[in-house]
A and B are shown apart, each in its own frame.
Chain A
Amino acid sequence: MKHTITLTINGESVTSEVDSRLLLVHFIRENLDLTGTHIGCDTSNCGACTIMLNGLSIKSCTYLAVRADGAEITTIEGVAPEGTNHPMQQAFHDQHGLHCGFCTPGMVIRSIELLKNNPNPTEEEIRWGISGNLCRCTGYNNIVKAVQQAATEMQKES
């Protein structure tokens, strides 16, 4: 069955006809060609597909596209104006918080939401806060440092 959905993604309004069973991650990647959102599992464990939906970080691999009707979505392509870095992106670069880069979009989006709810987290709070996102390369030390750097920078800005 087909459904017409309208949503806002990275500031642009999109109207599209989708199958009932189409997953949001496939809608984003294949219908909209925003391939920065990745797929690493199908059980909501790895977090490579994490996006921001109505201000919450969610795993788009277990979310139907029809359910996103009317939603406001931000993917990694939309976290900062073109040609600039979000403080979180800058911090991942500065602290070597990425190796292969596959988990990075989901990890960055999740970390942004973490700081929104807790602007000055402890190391333990950061580790628990990103524990829904798996990284197989970095050993997490430098991701933690990146979130700490971003927290400092974002507090300066606010």
Chain B
Amino acid sequence: MFKCKTSPEVGGMGHSVKRKEDARFLHGKGKFVDDVKLPGQLTMVMVRSPYAYAKILSINKEKALAIPGVLAVITGYDLKEFNLHWMPTLLSDTQMVLPTDTVMHQSQEVCAVIATDRYVAVDGAEAVEVEYEPMQAIVDPYKALDADAPLLRPDKEDQKDNKIYHWEQGDRNKTDDVISKADVVVKERIYLPRIHVASIETCGCVASFDKVTGKLVVYLTTQAPHAIRTIVALVAGHVGLSEEKIRIIAPDIGGGFGGKVPVYPAYVVAIAASFLIGKPVKWIEDRSENLVNGFARDYHMDCELAATKDGKIQAFKVSTLADHGYTDSSANPSKYPTGMFSICTGSYDYEHAFAELDAVYTNKAPGGVAYRCSFRVTEAVHAIERMVDKLAAEIGKDPAQLRFENFIKKEQFPYDSPLGWSYDSGDYKATLEKAMDMIGYDKYKKEQAEKRAQGKLMGIGICTFTEVVGAGPSKDFDILGIAMFDSAEIRVHPTGKALARFGTKSQGQGHETTYAQILAEELGIPYTDIEIDEGDTDTAPYGLGTYASRSTPTAGAAAAMAARKLKDKGKKIAAHLLEVSEEDIEWEIGKYFVKGAPDKCKTIQEVAFAAYTNFPEGMEPGFEATHYYDPPNLTFPNGAYICVVEVEEETGAIDVKRFVAIDDCGNIINPMIVEGQVHGGLTQGIAPAMYEGIEYDDEGNVLNGTFMDYLVPTAVESPHWETGHTITPSPHHPLGAKGVAESPTVGAPPAIANAIIDALAPLGIKHLDIPITPAKVWDAIQAHK
């Protein structure tokens, strides 16, 4: 286990210190976007399409403009004058800001109403008259591939059908060959449905353009403020918005989970409106607008897993159809259109694999937005973990035993996976053993046998996943060309207190505490003496932001590296103060001392003071450092999750009795915060496993676009999570740490699905797609009677 090197008062790594950011939230003093109120501020409300696919015949603004307080109605034609009616997505597709002739999904923005007041703006939006000519929407992605399917994106040159791209990785022929000769092959089409992150704060912005200074300030619900600034400059540079005149401020963010990475059309309209009118314009999304625009998942995966008759895995193949809606708005690195989906070979040691994916357009909202995992690891892990369980059921082997027999062994790391990743570290056997001990696996196996003998349905589900987080390295990972490094800048003041700024942006992850702890660990300055600042592009160093569990792997590492630069400078100052040569100075957290004479010492605070008052001749004054960290590899956290369920045959009701999650995310900065992240991620894992999934009818109408029918788990649906850790440090991260926040969202759904399907196995049920609802279970039970 990790041993703390600092006292609780200093609060370095490993201490569960309480969070520094809590006070303002507990007293209602957080500053979220909707709390921003600027003088003269106007409100914007969007008019949205009731149809999934329609031509716009006309937009009549007159009645809206006649309402006192309505100042403007902005349409696609108004933006077209400035060539701002289309914008690039983060994956180099194109998306309408506002349409001029066609709407492509239900609830797409049609035009914007600007008014003096929220209520008047809504009146205005209702008074805008839009004449549509509805067309037959394509909802089923398989039908989008039909030869006679209408071409959905004729605006794109060279687009001859509804395919967006084809991607593949691995050796198709060799994999097919191994599969064709294998003793056992299990197959399944697995669907991961569209879901929405539904952070409790929706998206929004306040755009404020000053016509005198030419400066644009945008308060924005964004997880990546610097990237947004650059994109705004690239998209709107031609109208005079150049990057030094753009300031993006991400204030407190009420949950992100990836839903606050994209640039939504209304942000651009609000910026354009403020630019034209010269007054601040606020736009705050309502819940339904939030829920039906922009989705995660929506992968249809045809999987094949081949093994010997005693269960040694030999090959895995997966062919996927990805429904991206009308544009590919994935926030994926440009060389990885399917994100890290090729992690789909999992935690197991075998040679042959092949993964391919076709992405298609349909008349749905843009897909590819994250849900606490943006890079398709959830889909990949669900595929392999369901298939491993299916194999276990097929050959009649205990799923834990099958996993033990196939795990990559501790001594095999760094491990080159069949689809090209280099896993940094892990001890999968130890992690699963710990989970089995904690839950009492053998006891539950016995109980299950007894219950089955009585005709009761009880299931035990396992998931042993490998995650892949922390992009860069920049040679492989970029977004729209911007390399995925991240940054830290530390200023130690003369009194020994410090301010540190980062290119990331917390949305609840606790950076104000954990980054201070990293600096406390490195410098010995108490974490309470270090102020952390993020989110303002005028003050923070450039970085790619917080998503994909990348903050600790990148900015956390940058903090350590910047602190080490300061420590080196401090050593020279200490030598000067103690009148010895630098070689005679040693470091112990918080102080420099003379080798062999520990009483002759200077604290980090004394050294900081000297950096401004009494520094060696020729030395640059001050005590500040900046580091841009480009990771040499990703980090590969892993986990073993076990779930026990009981299913009521008469009703299909599912009762999650126990859920144990053992995570290995390397060295831990703050165990309390990591545990909290795991709890939250687990609830966002049970959500798609049992409750959430956006549904459409044949016309492309969303059937569950409010919190009344899109079922976000409450405290009642969320089980009492039991968590624990194994610790296998990352060999390449300066602190030995790995990312963690998405692991539980990735690992929980297959554990739950495996448990429910295991419970239903005596009835002959071999697979169910998530969300596994009581109604779905009941239907399956009836079908197998």
A positions within 8 Å CB-CB of B: 19, 21-22, 26, 29-30, 33-43, 45-46, 48, 75-77, 80, 85, 89, 92-94, 96, 98-105, 108, 123, 126-128, 130-144
Q: How far is the CB of B198 from chain A (nearest CB, A)?
A: 6
CB of B28 within 8 A of CB of A40, answer no
A98 to B, closest residue via Cβ: B25
In the complex, 22 of the A-B residue pairs with CB atoms within 8 angstroms, ordered by the A residue number, are A30-B118, A36-B27, A38-B200, A38-B254, A45-B707, A76-B26, A98-B22, A99-B509, A100-B507, A101-B24, A101-B25, A127-B715, A132-B714, A133-B714, A134-B712, A136-B200, A136-B257, A136-B680, A136-B683, A136-B684, A137-B255, A139-B679
The residue of chain A having its C-beta at the shortest distance from the C-beta of B707 within the complex is: A45
Interface residues of B in 713-748 (CB under 8 A from A): 714-716, 718, 720-721
Q: Are B715 and A33 in contact (CB under 8 A)?
A: no
Cα distance, A21 to B509, chains bound together (Å)? 38
Docked CA distance A35–B31 (Å): 8
Q: Is the CB of B673 within 8 A of A96?
A: yes
Q: Are B30 and A102 in contact (CB under 8 A)?
A: yes
Chain A residues with CB under 8 A of B35: 29, 35
CB distance from A112 to the nearest CB of B (A): 12
Q: How far is A94 from B119 in the complex, measured between Cα atoms in Å?
A: 40
User: Is the pair B682, A139 in contact by a Cβ cutoff of 8 Å?
Assistant: yes
Find the B residue at minimum CB distance from A88. Answer: B26
Residues B22 and A36 in contact, CB atoms below 8 Å apart: no
A70 to B716, CA, bound (A): 35
Q: Are B119 and A89 in contact (CB under 8 A)?
A: no
| B687 (CB) vs chain A CBs: closest residue | A136
Instruction: Say yes or no: is B62 at the interface (Cβ < 8 Å to chain A).
Output: no
Instruction: Determine the main DSSP class of B at the interface with A.
Output: loop
Query: Chain A residues near B198 (CB, 8 Å)?
Result: 136
- For A75, give the chain B residue with the smallest CB separation: B28
Could you tell me if A137 and B508 are in contact, using CB atoms closer than 8 angstroms? yes
Contact of B720 among A30, A36, A138, A141 (CB under 8 A): A141
CB pair B255 A92 closer than 8 Å: no
Centre residue among B22, B34, B288, B706 by max chain A CB count within 10 A: B22
By a CB distance below 8 angstroms, the chain B residues around A33 are: 37
Q: Give every chain A residue within 8 A of B50 (Cβ-Cβ).
A: none
Please pick, from A85, A131, A143, the residue contacting B26 in the complex, using a CB distance under 8 A: A85
* Chain B interface residues toward A at CB < 8 A: 18-19, 21-30, 32, 34-35, 37, 118-119, 197-202, 252-257, 284, 286-288, 507-510, 672-673, 675-684, 706-708, 712, 714-716, 718, 720-721
B715 touches A136 (CB 8 A): no
| Cβ contact within 8 Å between B510 and A40 | no
**Residues of A close to B202: CB separation below 8 A:** 40
- Pairwise interchain contact B27-A46, C-beta atoms closer than 8 A: no
B18 x A93 contact (CB < 8 A)? yes
Q: For the complex, give the distance between the alpha carbons of A142 and B66 in Å.
A: 52
The reply to whether A138 and B680 form a contact with Cβ atoms under 8 Å apart is yes
B286 touches A42 (CB 8 A): yes
Q: A142–B720 Cα gap in the complex (Å)?
A: 10
Q: Which chain A residues border B256 with CB–CB below 8 Å?
A: 100
Q: A40 to B507, alpha carbons, bound, how many Å?
A: 15
Residue of B nearest to A76 (CB): B28
